[in-house]
Amino acid sequence: ELKVEQNPLFLSMQEGKNYTIYCNYSTTSDRLYWYRQDPGKSLESLFVLLSNGAVKQEGRLMASLDTKARLSTLHITAAVHDLSATYFCAVGHIESFGAGTRLTVKP
Amino acid sequence: DTAVSQTPKYLVTQMGNDKSIKCEQNLGHDTMYWYKQDSKKFLKIMFSYNNKELIINETVPNRFSPKSPDKAHLNLHINSLELGDSAVYFCASSQTTYGYTFGSGTRLTVV
């Protein structure tokens, strides 16, 4: 069974700071996804990573994938309040989601 | 135009009742899914249908039965509802490894 672990599960950070969310998974997979979920809302696709070394950036978020280490990171640069949400990584054919990282960005 | 639409958005019902949640996608995707998100935000896949055929059926109680009349629709029927069924249920669809699109969710509360 494919297991996906995210850390931290809770993250409170100040505006302007940088931080990284980690996503480890237990077995080989050729694809990894990052999603954002606002409270009471659906999941919004952020990134799809399909190869070792893939790096994608959108605004203040950058995602990378190391398939050998079975690790993906979501890096937040100069956080702003609007980034407050829960971030999920998902692996494989998205049968397996991480537990989510609840990010709160404070002024 | 909503890509993946679910109805109803909210559903409050008593224990023991039978209810259905409907899902429709207008993206032309071949695969549709049902996920359950519990109160701690854990997301777990329940079912996956590809071209009207069941391809994933995780360990869910057989009170839950998916029905796919065509590849644009995947409904979820739940018999004999229990308190533990209270959750948010998401429908999703995909065509390839790109572009998994989720519906807005159905918040089910069993009282």
Whole-angstrom Cα distance, residue A30 to residue A2?
13
What pLDDT was estimated at residue B15?
A: 97
Task: Kindly tell me if the per-residue pLDDT of B97 is higher than 70.
Answer: no
- Nearest Cβ partner for B100 among A33, A37, A50: A33
User: Which of A11, A43, A95, A103 to substitute to test the interface with B, most B CBs within 10 Å?
Assistant: A43
Q: Is A31 on the interface with B (CB under 8 A)?
A: yes
With CB atoms and an 8 Å threshold, state whether A42 touches B105: yes
pLDDT digits (tens, 9 = 90+) for A22-62: 999 998 887 899 999 999 999 999 999 988 889 999 999 99
pLDDT of B51 over the 80 cut: no
**Best-predicted range by mean pLDDT (A30-34, B13-17, B65-69):** B13-17
What does the pLDDT look like over A8-19, one tens digit per residue? 999 999 999 999
Percent of chain A with pLDDT over 90: 80
Q: What is the pLDDT of residue B1?
A: 67
Q: What are the chain A neighbours of B58 within 8 Å (beta carbons)?
A: 95
- Stretch A61-89: mean pLDDT, rounded? 96
pLDDT at residue A29 in the model: 83
What token pair was written down for B11?
Answer: 């559903």
Cβ pair A86, A105 in contact under 8 A: no
A81 touches chain B (CB under 8 A): no
Question: Where is pLDDT greater, at A92 or A45?
Answer: A45
CB contact under 8 A, B45 and A43: no
**To 5 degrees, how large is the angle CA A80–CA B4–CA B56?**
105
Which residues are paired to B73 by β-bridges?
Answer: B24, B70
Q: State how far the Cα of B101 lies from the Cα of B48, in Å rounded to an integer.
A: 14
Give pLDDT, residue A96. 85
pLDDT for B59 beyond 90: no
A95 touches chain B (CB under 8 A): yes
> Per residue in A21-39, is it b (16+ CB within 10 Å) or e — as a string?
bebbbeeebebbbbbbbee
Average pLDDT, chain B: 91
